[in-house]
Chains A and B, each alone.
Chain A
Amino acid sequence: MLSRIADSLFWIGRYLERAEDTARIVEVHLHQSLDDPTLDKTQAANDLLLLMGLPGSESPDVLLRLCYEESSPVSFLSALTHAREAARRARETVSTEVWESINTTWLAVRGGRLQRMRPASMFKFIRERCAVIAGLADNTMSHDEGWLFLTLGRSIERIDMTSRLLSTPSFAANSQRAWDHVLSGCGAHHAFVQRYGALASDRDAVEFLMLDRLFPRSLIYTLNTAVEALAQLGPSNLRIRPDDPAMRLLGAARATLEYLPPDEILRDLPEEMARLQAVCSQATSAISARYFEGSAAAEWVGGAW
Chain B
Amino acid sequence: MSELFDGYPRGQAVYDEMVGPDGVRPALKSVAAEFDRLGLDEVRTRADYLSSVYIDQGVTFDIGGEERPFPLDIVPRVMQAAEFSHVEAGSRQRVRAMEAFLDDIYSEGRCFVDGVIPRHVVASSPHFHRVMAGLTTANGVRVHIAGIDLIRGDDGVYRVLEDNVRSPSGVSYVMTNRRAINSALPEVAGKHRIRPVEDYPSELLKALRAAAPSGITDPTVVVLTPGVYNSAYFEHALLARMMGVELVEGRDLVAHGGRVSLRTTRGLRPVHVIYRRIDDEFLDPAVFRADSVLGCAGLLNAARAGNVTIANAVGNGVADDKLVYSYLPDLMRFYLGEEPILAQVDTWRLEEPDAREEVLDRLDELVVKPVDGSGGKGIVIGPRATPEQLEKLRRLIIKDARGWIAQPVVQLSTVPTMIDGQLRPRHVDLRPFVVNGGSEGIYVLPGGLTRVALPEGELIVNSSQGGGSKDTWVLADSRPTRRREQDRQVARPSAVPLSDQIIDRVIRHQHEQQQQSRGGEASC
A298 touches B250 (CB 8 A): yes
| Given known A1-B264, A294-B263, A295-B252, contact A103–B57 (CB-CB < 8 A) | yes
Which of B56, B241, B265 is the one whose CB lies under 8 Å from A145?
Answer: B265
The count of chain B contact residues (Cβ–Cβ below 8 Å) is 30
Q: Is A11 an interface residue (CB 8 A)?
A: no
Point out the residue from A99, A103, A295 that lies within 8 Å of B263, measured CB to CB. A295
If A91-B241, A100-B57, A100-B58 touch, whether A300 touches B297 (CB-CB below 8 Å) is: yes
Q: Does A282 contact B (CB under 8 A)?
A: no
Least Cβ–Cβ distance between B203 and chain A, in angstroms:
18
Cα distance, A302 to B284, chains bound together (Å): 11
What 0/1 readout, one digit per residue, does chain B (147-162) give for beta carbons within 8 Å of chain A? 0000000000000000
Nearest-Cβ distance from residue B173 to partner chain A, whole angstroms: 16
List residues of A (98-131) whose CB comes within 8 Å of B's CBs.
99-100, 103-104, 107
B297 and A2 contacting across the interface, CB-CB below 8 Å: no
Q: What is the CA–CA distance of A297 and B251 in the complex, to the nearest angstrom?
A: 7
Q: A6 at interface (Cβ–Cβ under 8 A)? A: yes
In residues 198-242 of chain B, which contact A (Cβ within 8 Å)? 228, 233, 237-238, 240-241
A215 within 8 A of B: no
Residues 13-30 of chain A: 1 if any B CB is under 8 Å from the residue's CB, otherwise 0? 000000000000000000
> With A3-B252, A99-B58, A295-B251 in contact, do A302 and B290 touch (Cβ < 8 Å)?
yes
Q: In whole angstroms, what is the CA distance A298 to B297 when docked?
A: 10
A 279-305 to B, binary, CB cutoff 8 A, 1 in contact else 0: 000000000000110111111101101
A58 at the binding interface (Cβ < 8 Å): no
Nearest B residue to A293 via CB reads: B263
Q: Is B247 an interface residue (CB 8 A)?
A: yes
Convert B284-319 into 0s and 1s, putting 1 for each residue whose CB lies closer than 8 angstroms to a CB of A.
Answer: 011000110100111000000000000000000000
Cross-chain contact B252 with A4 (CB below 8 angstroms): yes
In angstroms, Cα B262 to Cα A165, docked, is: 41
Verify if B249 is at the interface (C-beta below 8 Å from A): yes
Residues of B within 8 A of A103 (CB): 56-58
0 or 1 for each of A59-90: is its CB under 8 Å from B? (1 = yes): 00000000000000000000000000100110
Taken together as a complex, chains A and B put the C-alpha atoms of A85 and B228 apart, in Å, by 9
Q: Which of B263, B286, B296 has the most chain A CB atoms closer than 10 A to its own CB?
A: B263
Q: Is the beta-carbon distance between B297 and A3 smaller than 8 angstroms?
A: no
- Are B246 and A107 in touch, CB under 8 angstroms? no
Q: Among the listed B228, B250, B262, which residue makes an inter-chain contact with A2, where contact means beta carbons less than 8 Å apart?
A: B262
Contact check, A302 vs B285: say whether CB atoms are below 8 A apart: yes
- The answer to whether A298 touches B293, judged by C-beta atoms less than 8 angstroms apart, is yes
Cβ contacts under 8 Å, B430 to chain A: none
A40 within 8 A of B: no
Nearest Cβ in chain B — how far from A147, in angstroms? 13
Q: Please, how many angstroms separate the alpha-carbon atoms of A2 and B267 in the complex?
A: 9
Q: Are A92 and B240 in contact (CB under 8 A)?
A: yes
Contact present for B265 and A104 (CB under 8 Å): no
Residue among A5, A93, A292, A298 with the most chain B CB within 10 A? A298
Can you list 24 residue pairs at the A/B interface with Cβ under 8 Å?
A1-B265, A2-B246, A2-B263, A4-B251, A4-B263, A88-B58, A88-B233, A91-B237, A96-B241, A100-B57, A103-B56, A103-B58, A107-B56, A233-B265, A294-B263, A295-B263, A297-B251, A298-B250, A299-B297, A300-B293, A300-B296, A303-B290, A305-B286, A305-B297
Other A-B pairs, 15, CB within 8 Å; known A1-B265, A305-B297: A2-B246, A3-B263, A92-B238, A92-B247, A93-B241, A99-B58, A100-B58, A233-B265, A292-B265, A294-B263, A295-B252, A298-B293, A302-B290, A302-B291, A303-B290
